[in-house]
Structure 1
Amino acid sequence: MNGNSNEIALNKLIVLLILKEIDIPLTTGQITDIVLENNLINYFDLQQCLVELEESKMIVRFGNKEMYKATEMGLKTVELFISRIDSKIRSTIENYILKNKEKIRLETQVRSDIIKKSNTEYIVNLKVVEKDIELINLSLNVVSSEQAKLICSNWENKYYQVYDQIMNILIKK
């Protein structure tokens, strides 16, 4: 095994450790942010790593935002080889997740997407997901990109109020 193979294996273990420690599905962007902010893996090696981990069934990708989570085999692998990850790197990952997990969790669970149908028709899809269960999935047809963007922005900041009001209206007799 040469140094390059060792580095690739280490990078895969780092990604698996991140997914294990955070214990919530992450988007490609979130994984990228974590590894780049902490200087753990360069961007191109990370992208290769994600492809290879998925091909080897260590991680699984799902959803339209390309979310990843570790499979049972991936979790067992990182547990088996965790000692190969330097303690400083493990500590960096643990500290980062401790400080940022709630923010990342909210990013993952409150989702909004815009689909352009024509110049005067946009579909805005709004979701709140909790532990793989959709609490609400709302699609709105709007007439402009500006409206769609405003709705998405407000959803990110006020989703709990919207959800609460809808539930209150629907469950009242």
Structure 2
Amino acid sequence: MYNTTSDLAEDKLLLLYLLEKIKLPISNNKITQIILENNFINYFSLQQYITELLNSNFIDTIEQEGKNRIVISDNGLKVLSLFRNRISENKIKAIDAYLDNQLDDIKKEISVYAEYTIEGNNYIVNLKTLEKNYILIDIKLNVATNKQAQDLCAKWKKNSSDLYKKLLQVLIDD
């Protein structure tokens, strides 16, 4: 599958580099999306590397809002600092360029929650925004229809920052 073990090591170091650059807990799905969009590693090898990095304590999983997220560990940061030069400059440039274009969207996706559940005849919409693992706002609303619940979730995901500011202003104004 690989010509040398250096290819395998470079791929694992690339994952550590990605996690270090993002600086946020991130889902396995999001890591997979980033890696596959850039054609760095195939899906099955990627999942194997993530498992191996977890088992080696180079990355950790944390639970955030009921979802597992991946972060680089202190051991992973040490390994990356020692062996970063083994990642090809082309791959580093590609990751850096991707993150320059996508990091705001990634942060928004990670820190903005909008979900709803059905309780009896009502829909309970939970809207939440985090910043650096601190809750900025957490609102639960009871709405009558599925469409209202879906619309609220979509609006919150699209404009949570503006809606938060407006809501805060309404609550603060006399």
Same fold (TM > 0.5): yes
Name 1:103's counterpart in structure 2: 105
1:123-172 per-position Cα deviation (integer Å, ceiling 9, x unaligned): 32211111111100112233433222111101112322331233223334
Q: Does 1:16 align with 2:16?
A: yes
Write the distance in 2 (CA, Å) between the matches of 1:9 and 1:26.
21
**Residue 92, structure 1, aligned to residue 94, structure 2:** yes
Structure 1: any 5+ residue segments left out of the alignment?
A: none
Deviation for aligned residue 1:100: 1.6
1:4, CA displacement in angstroms? 6.8
- 1:104 is matched by which residue type in structure 2? I
Counterpart of 1:151? Answer: 152
Matched, 1:170 2:171: yes
Aligned to 1:134: 135
TM-score by length of 2: 0.84
Describe the SS at the equivalent of 2:162: helix
What is the alpha-carbon root mean square deviation over aligned residues? 2.2
Shift, 1:74, TM fit: 1.1
TM-score by length of 1: 0.85
- How many residue pairs are counted as aligned between the two chains? 171
The equivalent position to 1:71 in structure 2, one of 66, 70, 73, is 73
- 1:144 counterpart letter in structure 2: T
- Matched to 1:27, the amino acid is S
- Tell me the alpha carbon deviations over residues 15-40 of structure 1, each in whole angstroms, 9 at most, x when there is no partner: 11001122222222221121011101
Q: What letter is aligned with 1:47? A: Q
Partner Cα separation in structure 2 for residue 54 and residue 112 of structure 1? 29
Hey, what's the Cα distance between the residues in 2 that align with 1:116 and 1:42? 38
The more displaced of 77-86 and 120-129 is: 120-129
Amino acid aligned to 2:57:
K
Q: Helix, strand or coil: the match of 1:66?
A: strand
- List alignment gaps of at least 5 residues for structure 2: none
